[in-house]
Amino acid sequence: MIRKPAVAGKFYEADPRKLRATVESFLKKNYAPVGRPAGILAPHAGYVFSGAAAGAAFSRLKKADFDTLVIMATGHTMPLKNGALLAEGSFETPLGRVEIDSAFCAKLLGEKGLFEDSPRAHASEHAVEVQLPFLQVLKGASVKIVPVLFNSSDTDLLAEAGRTIGRAMKGRKALFCVSSDLSHYPPGDVAELSDRSVLLALRQAMRNASPSYFSLANELLLAKVPGMDTTACGQAAMTAGAVAALELGCNDFELALYTNSGEVSGDDSAVVGYGAGFYTEVSPKPDGAPELTAEMKKELLALARGSIAAALKGAKPAERGLDRRPEFNQPAAVFVTLSAGERLRGCIGSLEPRGTLADMTASYARAAAFEDPRFPGLSGAELEKVTIEISLLSPLRRAASAAEVQPGVHGVYVKSGRRSGTYLPQVWEHFDNKEDFLSSLCLEKAGLAAGAWKDKGTELYVYTVEKFSED
């Protein structure tokens, strides 16, 4: 089967000489990631809008040694339950034909319930096709492709499909390309905030090996911009790609270039966003904690205090839109602690991300002031005397035993049946040893027997905290 070009003359030049010259112009700059790349993120719009970003991603492949490129792309033309392959034959562009790696596709099709051979899904789809001229200019006919489309919202299926692709790539001279645009049709300034927040979420998801973090970030961002069609039209492909990258040993996403259609057209009223970057393995492993400057920390502390002050005046919690800082738009597990001198005055938070960093800071500050059942509600006079501390939690990690718990470093969450409780790392200062810390956590916080942490049926989880407080 020869899949004929569907968007030549629409998304890119139909004349071979003009097409080659256009692609070569986009590939002139060289973008070098810090880590070892296993794959790239490239947009799939018309070249006049997204060609520069696509060129930024493909520029890294100039000297790369590979003979197969797996292209995980968005399926725009029909709903897809599974990953849709075009399993054999070739794709044709004005620059010639690109052969499909049929043996690789057969391996994927052997995984029942994850992939299907669907020529109809590929017949008029542009998301794979627009990547091919870049590949052809760089590698000619020496590289085969594995074209697979995703648009399912089943994150478990996408994760398993991504793992399967990653496993199939091992031992082969293969790289991957995730084909996705970003936001669709918000104003230019809103698009950039949303897009940079999405790209930061992808980086954090890779650094924390948590594709679910990326999915949650998109969900939270979409809710903040009424009328925006999508935060990432290829979210499904980006999710599967992140899992494939993790399976291949990657631990980071490095952004090469961001742009949007308004920067080309000059019309910022309704734009589409484009990002280009690299899925890489960096050594040493990058820290998964959010990178907050001193100024950002001051802003969050001021937000917390302002939220309490507003509540004291009877104001209802304000609905927040996108924050001007992408870091504040990230999903976050947050605790807010109020102290009066050396005395605890309230502490409320969540072990799992339930909203954005800004939203959770404002919400838990109110809760710590007025909803901690151990204390009466804070008064206006007390607000002037309390100190606010914010703790940002890393993802929970299951500990095999108490031996993995590091005093002074780890917060600990204990769970047995329906009873559970946690102590933040700050609580270690009240104990002389690990046994007393864990026994108190079980007895006084979780309502368990003091020695429950030793039982095989008790689950122990550890996490770290980045904390900062008012002077």
- Which among 177, 173, 221 is positioned nearest to 199, based on CA atoms? 221
Based on the fold, state whether residues 312 and 274 are members of the same structural domain.
no
- Asked if 280 and 33 touch (Cβ cutoff 8 Å), the reply is yes
pLDDT at 295 exceeding the cut of 90: yes
Based on the fold, state whether residues 384 and 423 are members of the same structural domain.
no
Query: Tell me: the pLDDT tens digits for 53-92?
Result: 999 999 999 999 999 999 999 999 999 999 999 999 999 9
CA distance readout (Å), 196 to 78, 191, 208, 217, 219 = 28, 8, 18, 12, 15
- Asked if 243 and 157 touch (Cβ cutoff 8 Å), the reply is no
- Which among 272, 466, 309 is positioned nearest to 383, based on CA atoms? 309
Based on the fold, state whether residues 218 and 105 are members of the same structural domain.
yes
**Res. 29 pLDDT band, cuts 50 70 90:** very high
Q: How many domains does the chain have?
A: 3
Based on the fold, state whether residues 66 and 191 are members of the same structural domain.
yes
Between CA 411 and CA 461 the distance in angstroms is 8
Q: How far is CA 156 from the centre of its chain?
A: 15
- Mean pLDDT value across residues 223-242: 94
With a pLDDT cut of 90, the percent of the chain lying above it is 96
Between CA 336 and CA 467 the distance in angstroms is 10
**Res. 112 pLDDT band, cuts 50 70 90:** confident
pLDDT at 248 exceeding the cut of 90: yes
Query: Tell me: the pLDDT tens digits for 124-149?
Result: 999 999 999 999 999 999 999 999 99
Tokens 């709903």 correspond to what residue? 79
| In a domain? residue 288 | no
- The average confidence (pLDDT) of the chain is 96
Percentages of the chain per state (helix, strand, coil), in multiples of 5: 40, 25, 35
* CATH, residue 215: 3.40.830.10
* CATH, residue 303: 3.30.700.20
3 three-state secondary structure: strand
pLDDT at 67: 97
What sign does the CA torsion over 34, 39, 43, 48 have? positive
pLDDT at 318: 85
Based on the fold, state whether residues 387 and 450 are members of the same structural domain.
no
Between CA 121 and CA 124 the distance in angstroms is 7
With a pLDDT cut of 70, the percent of the chain lying above it is 100
Sheet holding 96-99, edge to edge: 2-3, 90-93, 96-99
Query: Tell me: the pLDDT tens digits for 354-371?
Result: 999 999 999 999 999 999
Based on the fold, state whether residues 350 and 424 are members of the same structural domain.
no
Max Cα–Cα distance, the chain, nearest Å = 77
- Mean pLDDT value across residues 291-309: 97
| In a domain? residue 246 | yes
Peptide bond into 284 cis (omega under 30): yes
Q: Domain containing 413: what range?
A: 397-469
pLDDT at 287 exceeding the cut of 90: no
- Which among 385, 306, 311 is positioned nearest to 345, based on CA atoms? 385
Based on the fold, state whether residues 98 and 239 are members of the same structural domain.
yes
Domain boundary among 392, 414, 444: 392
Dihedral angle at the C-alpha atoms of 185, 189, 194, 196, nearest 10 degrees? 120
- Asked if 328 and 362 touch (Cβ cutoff 8 Å), the reply is no
Contact partners, residue 328, CB within 8 Å, separation at least 6: 296, 299, 300, 356, 357, 358
Domain boundary among 281, 304, 337: 281
Based on the fold, state whether residues 84 and 200 are members of the same structural domain.
yes
pLDDT at 289: 83
Q: How far is CA 8 from the centre of its chain?
A: 32
pLDDT at 22: 98
Based on the fold, state whether residues 141 and 237 are members of the same structural domain.
yes
- Asked if 109 and 100 touch (Cβ cutoff 8 Å), the reply is no
Exposed, middle or buried: residue 78 (CB in 10 Å: 0-12, 13-18, 19+)? middle
Query: Tell me: the pLDDT tens digits for 152-211?
Result: 999 999 999 999 999 999 999 999 999 999 999 999 999 999 999 999 999 999 999 999
Based on the fold, state whether residues 128 and 144 are members of the same structural domain.
yes
Based on the fold, state whether residues 260 and 210 are members of the same structural domain.
yes
| Amino acid, single-letter form, for residue 317 | P
pLDDT at 227: 83
**Res. 319 pLDDT band, cuts 50 70 90:** confident
| In a domain? residue 344 | yes
Residues facing 272 on adjacent strands = 184
